[in-house]
Amino acid sequence: MGKFQLTKGTSAYTIYKWAGIVLLLLIVFIAAFAFNDTGKISVLDNDYKIGLTRITKAISFMVAILGLQVVAGFTGQLSLGQGFFFGTGAYMSAYLVADHQWPWFLTLVVVVPACFVMGLLFGIPALKIKGLYLALVTLGLAAIFPSLILLDVLEPYTNGAAGKIVDSDLLPPEWMPLDGISTGLQRIPLVGRYFGDGDLSNKQEQRIWTFFLMAILAAICFKMVSNLVSSRPGRAIRAVRDNETSAAVNGIGLSYHKTMSFGVASALGGVGGMIYVAELGIASQGDFTQLLSILFIVGLVVGGVGTLSGAVIGGLVIAFVPEWASSTQNLPGVPERWLDGPTGGFILGIGLIVLTFVLPGGIISGVRKLKARVVQVLPAPIPLPEAASVET
């Protein structure tokens, strides 16, 4: 039994829920101004870099993994092709912004429907095959994407191996007091030094503004998927995941829900690609190989399959952990010469193996177990019908 008991529908539970939301917003706000330039943290004499650019990249990965949650976590269809749609969204957005001067967010009116339709088409094989065979087909889809970018017929749109460079920044409006906020944070006793020193440069203001906009876009995506999962179609796709035969017997259209889940996942992958290229300013075919699709699966599993918050953890993991693993030069009990060279992949692999045994349900599963020891949320009581009055 938890130490604190909260019942859904009560004022205490509402305060608990809003406290979590406020804490999340506070973390986002602090991260924007504390890491607007590249910072670092030191652990065991190792320096690990943290910058707002990489955090925004993590947001793009979160949205892509959120799509995988729909098709793999909630529908049970293993897809290794999310990198294809991630890259497609990135290149389509880069082309529309660079060659036609579209605003970044307006490109979504093309990216989302296009990726959705392609997802529906590539979801058709899921009607006939599943498991490892479906994974192999979708992995092939991700593997051919870099080659497609280099085709002569597409070079006017993709710029081939040179990459599609976009010189268009998301500039904050003049009325947005980002510099004033930064100055105010710097004056806070004890912690002010963590927010820099002096006025923000134009590049720093642009970076913070982009981060806020992309965080809002990601929050909208998470809210829409949350509503989908809680709706009747969401219950249907979970039924398909748990038992296809039982779902079909109960009148659920397997073909419809499988293909639609692929479409939704692909559309979210395209949105993630737009966020990625909007932050980096270039779409390069070397960034969208099959390795990216595999990293998305890693993020899905590490965060927690079938959990929305697991997509957040997974995005952060694949954005930071590989680079941090490569930056590790000192570990207790490990000779320094063993850490020389390309040890990042080795450390990451060992960490994944350990995590699989310790937390088979992902990091979110471990967090929920710890939280259950402190807080226990009880369901709202069911109101009982009033007893009928007996006339005398």
Q: SS3 sequence, 225-289?
A: HHHHHHCHHHHHHHHHHHCHHHHHHCCCCHHHHHHHHHHHHHHHHHHHHHHHHHHHCEECHHHCC
Task: Classify each residue of 77-112 as buried b or exposed e, where b means 16 or more C-beta atoms within 10 Å of its C-beta.
Answer: bbbbbbbbbbbbbbbbbbbbbbeeebebeebbebbb
Q: What is the pLDDT of residue 212?
A: 92
Q: What is the pLDDT of residue 392?
A: 46
Q: Which domains are assigned to the chain?
A: 4-330+338-378 (1.10.3470)
Strands 4-7 and 375-378: parallel
Q: pTM for the full model?
A: 0.89
Mean pLDDT, contiguous 10-residue spans, the chain (392 residues): 70 82 89 77 73 90 94 85 92 91 92 93 76 80 87 86 83 83 82 76 86 94 92 85 81 83 92 93 87 90 88 90 74 63 66 79 83 77 62 49
Q: Per the structure block, which two tokens stand in for 207?
A: 């970076």
Burial class of residue 348 in the structure, from the number of CB atoms within 10 Å of its CB (0-12 exposed, 13-18 middle, 19+ buried): buried
CA 357 – CA 363 distance, rounded (Å)? 12
Q: Is 66 in contact with 268 (CB distance < 8 Å)? A: yes
Residue 39: enclosing H or E segment and its boundaries? strand 39-43
Residue 373: enclosing H or E segment and its boundaries? none
Residue whose C-alpha is closest to residue 163's, from 81, 52, 277: 277
At what angle are helices 232-242 and 254-280 packed, to 10 degrees?
110
Q: What is the pLDDT of residue 384?
A: 65
CA 247 to chain centroid, in Å, comes to 29
Residue whose C-alpha is closest to residue 329's, from 49, 39, 43, 54: 43
CA 87 – CA 17 distance, rounded (Å)? 36
List the beta bridge partners of residue 19: none
